[in-house]
Amino acid sequence: APEFTPPMPLLEGIAASAFARGHSCAQQSATVANPVPGANPDLLPHFLVEPEDVYIVKNKPVLLVCKAVPATQIFFKCNGEWVRQVDHVIERSTDGSSGLPTMEVRINVSRQQVEKVFGLEEYWCQCVAWSSSGTTKSQKAYIRIAYLRKNFEQEPLAKEVSLEQGIVLPCRPPEGIPPAEVEWLRNEDLVDPSLDPNVYITREHSLVVRQARLADTANYTCVAKNIVARRRSASAAVIVYVDGSWSPWSKWSACGLDCTHWRSRECSDPAPRNGGEECQGADLDTRNCTTDLCVHTASGPEDVALYVGLIAVAVCLVLLLLVLILVYCRKKEGLDSDVADSSILTSGFQPVSIKPSKADNPHLLTIQPDLSTTTTTYQGSLCPRQDGPSPKFQLTNGHLLSPLGGGRHTLHHSSPTSEAEEFVSRLSTQNYFRSLPRGTSNMTYGTFNFLGGRLMIPNTGISLLIPPDAIPRGKIYEIYLTLHKPEDVRLPLAGCQTLLSPIVSCGPPGVLLTRPVILAMDHCGEPSPDSWSLRLKKQSCEGSWEDVLHLGEEAPSNLYYCQLEASACYVFTEQLGRFALVGEALSVAAAKRLKLLLFAPVACTSLEYNIRVYCLHDTHDALKEVVQLEKQLGGQLIQEPRVLHFKDSYHNLRLSIHDVPSSLWQSKLLVSYQEIPFYHIWNGTQQYLHCTFTLERVSPSTSDLACKLWVWQVEGDGQSFNINFNITKDTRFAELLALESEGGVPALVGPSAFKIPFLIRQKIISSLDPPCNRGADWRTLAQKLHLDSHLSFFASKPSPTAMILNLWEARHFPNGNLSQLAAAVAGLGQPDAGLFTVSEAEC
């Protein structure tokens, strides 16, 4: 649309006004009248309504209104430019008292218009009204985009103060327009200084308590709010304690038969409270009497004999104890010298006989594996121990298949110690592997060739599938799979990003792969395309992290692809390395699944009883770490685990305990609830997040505990645990977290690593890869397996059917139902009746 040009009277008025101001270009912020020479100044327009300063909240446009009398025309000018005529909404009327023409004009200003103004200049609008006597400009109205940052510039911190000491809790609210107003909450109740003269709020928004009272023990939260949002700081627990002080001494007692008398005092003036220090010194004082009735006599010969006898018995006991210790140590040394690990002599790979392919079917490789012996287990540490003269490194005999003529292969064996030292020396020369964990619980590795195989870290949901022909023929790779602790690997997270999966390495990086391998790992996100932006991150050899895949925007030609399911993801990759799944919330509906676990001691030998509440990612690896930790601490599960959906609402997680029977137990919690800050959970890199509730038994005989424990996110999801059990003999929940082995050994090599027999797999591939007009090809198989959303990725590979079968293997091992897969393939209507059978000769 062409730019709006004001009518000639308006231009003349503007020119006269500019000349009268000495050609000044400065805009006036107040109403300015510009009469036409010789005109009646009483008929100049004056404004009944002028535009006022306003804030744009989110994306909602704002309305500006002008109304003037008498007025024949009114137009808006914003930042020195006239607003188009079509954007004005005009209402004309006549003033009832004077009969003069009245005009009201309205315009909308959008967020996009304001954002176009760059630099330090603010966006402003004013209206110009004119009549036959001249023009009048209204005051300027400034339009600003309202916001409130999420992070407080300074949050209050927990404090412990003595009675009557002053308390200062600082708070600097997040930056915002308009500036945020600040208020304080004490245990969720509003702090009103007008009702409590002992409390006031400074201009810098700090909360000040002049003299601390016991009633001031509470959780304090700073709240910042403006027209856009309301933000809460992390709560600060303030504990007001009282140090104990002695009461006056009592009077001396009468002199006793032992020629002593005593006096006492109590630590009750005042008694210690809320963790205050106990009184120092003795509460009982005794002295010898000086009355005539007390006669002191020297000890007789009988007393000397008694003392000598006691000393002799003590010396004998000490000598006997020393003898027992020496005997035990010698027996232990003898046992150690006789113990030998025989696994290294009995384990190892067995020969695999490979027959030449048949002349009538040359594209198939016929294999006769010994399924009972082709599986191997790799165990032991990557680093040989340095605390002895001859380091021990336990590793099963590896096999090296060297291709020979005539379709034969030779099996080679080598020394376990030499293989281990060689493997470690190769790893130690590469900086990339310096952070690998030195233990078997979080790492597995094996030697693989073109037959493929599988690596698994038990009880973590993490595995690596190496399909057949992923490794070039003639190549042999030593491949490892590692689970990292988040605190050991620096993964930078920007903005609202959160870690959703474990950090997993597979390597060595840089090896040549001719087919994608599949890395499987759990995640704790609630997958929803409208709530999350999910990215797969990979660490380069230089140490920097890069986004290699944006889920939902995959390109078929990409080196990476991901099948995302409700609680797991399967990553196709042709390059090994270190990976992690990261999410960024697109709305407050984005949620992470938290597993809530309650642990307590198996045996309680004191009056105190601790209940530990863990809040961890709902993944197998996080569960495994906590279960292993609690085994070391001597803990047991006391309630069935629950899942809580933790949302990106910037609200903290709270935990509280209720209905504790006061006649049997006392809670040592000094505040109404405990709190875990939002960012500690949402970041996803902190392990073992938990709170401890300490209860104290009134009597050592108390063994029954009944109470309620609540865990909830403020303004979000919550869970309630009804605890009712006997702390000395109730173990009904102990079996719920028994760690079971996933599919046996962590390293599987060759055909035993796959559910689908090799020959049947080859027949399915050769039958379904060629396109079929009747639809009986790999596309229909993908639809039957609910994988039709990945058709473009499958089609980009040399064998789409092989990709589908590889993904089926990764998803369903070791408990996959092979009969269901066979039924899905058979349902495609292939004419070859022998597609799913293998002859005895072929086996």
- Domain CATH for 817: 1.10.533.10
Tell me, yes or no, whether 68 and 183 share the same domain: no
Please answer whether residues 582 and 533 qualify as being in contact, where contact means their C-beta atoms are separated by less than 8 angstroms: no
Whether 641 is in a domain gets the answer yes
Whether 366 is in a domain gets the answer no
Give per-residue pLDDT as tens, 131-182: 888 899 999 999 999 999 989 999 999 999 999 999 999 999 999 999 999 9
Tell me, yes or no, whether 658 and 690 share the same domain: yes
How many CB atoms within 10 Å of residue 464? 25
Q: Radius of gyration (Cα) for the chain, nearest Å?
A: 40
Give φ, ψ of 821 to 5 degrees. Answer: -65, -40
The residues near 318 (Cβ < 8 Å, ≥ 6 apart) are none
Total number of domains in the chain: 6
Among the residue ranges 18-32, 346-360, 417-431, 681-695, the one predicted with the least confidence is 346-360
Q: What does the pLDDT read at residue 121?
A: 73
Give per-residue pLDDT as tens, 787-840: 888 888 888 888 999 999 999 999 988 777 888 888 888 777 654 445 555 444
d(CA 471, CA 448): 8
What six digits make up the tokens of 229? 């949002």
Tell me, yes or no, whether 681 and 806 share the same domain: no
Tell me, yes or no, whether 609 and 528 share the same domain: no
Please answer whether residues 667 and 639 qualify as being in contact, where contact means their C-beta atoms are separated by less than 8 angstroms: no
Whether 85 is in a domain gets the answer yes
d(CA 471, CA 492): 33
Block residue for tokens 């990409």: 558
Tell me, yes or no, whether 491 and 578 share the same domain: yes
Whether 788 is in a domain gets the answer yes
Whether 434 is in a domain gets the answer no
Q: What does the pLDDT read at residue 359?
A: 38
Whether 12 is in a domain gets the answer no
The residues near 292 (Cβ < 8 Å, ≥ 6 apart) are none
Whether 352 is in a domain gets the answer no
Q: What does the pLDDT read at residue 814?
A: 78
Please answer whether residues 590 and 648 qualify as being in contact, where contact means their C-beta atoms are separated by less than 8 angstroms: yes
CATH number, domain containing residue 476: 2.60.220.30
Tell me, yes or no, whether 568 and 464 share the same domain: yes
3-state secondary structure of 735: helix
Give per-residue pLDDT as tens, 638-688: 999 999 999 988 889 999 999 999 899 999 888 888 999 988 898 888 888
Q: What does the pLDDT read at residue 103?
A: 94
- Of 394 and 68, the one with more pLDDT: 68
Tell me, yes or no, whether 115 and 160 share the same domain: no
Tell me, yes or no, whether 572 and 516 share the same domain: yes
Query: Is 357's pLDDT higher than 50?
Result: no
The residues near 386 (Cβ < 8 Å, ≥ 6 apart) are none
d(CA 452, CA 456): 14
d(CA 171, CA 156): 6
CATH number, domain containing residue 256: 2.20.100.10
d(CA 619, CA 607): 35
Tell me, yes or no, whether 573 and 600 share the same domain: no
Tell me, yes or no, whether 611 and 732 share the same domain: yes
Please answer whether residues 479 and 446 qualify as being in contact, where contact means their C-beta atoms are separated by less than 8 angstroms: yes
Query: Is 392's pLDDT higher than 50?
Result: no
What residues make up the domain containing 512? 445-585
> Domain ends where: 740, 768, 784?
740
Query: Is 22's pLDDT higher than 60?
Result: no
Tell me, yes or no, whether 519 and 563 share the same domain: yes
Tell me, yes or no, whether 611 and 721 share the same domain: yes
> Domain ends where: 585, 613, 631?
585
Predicted model pTM: 0.55
CATH number, domain containing residue 215: 2.60.40.10
d(CA 556, CA 818): 29
Whether 39 is in a domain gets the answer no
What six digits make up the tokens of 71? 């007025």
- Of 524 and 325, the one with more pLDDT: 524
> Domain ends where: 705, 740, 775?
740
d(CA 427, CA 436): 10
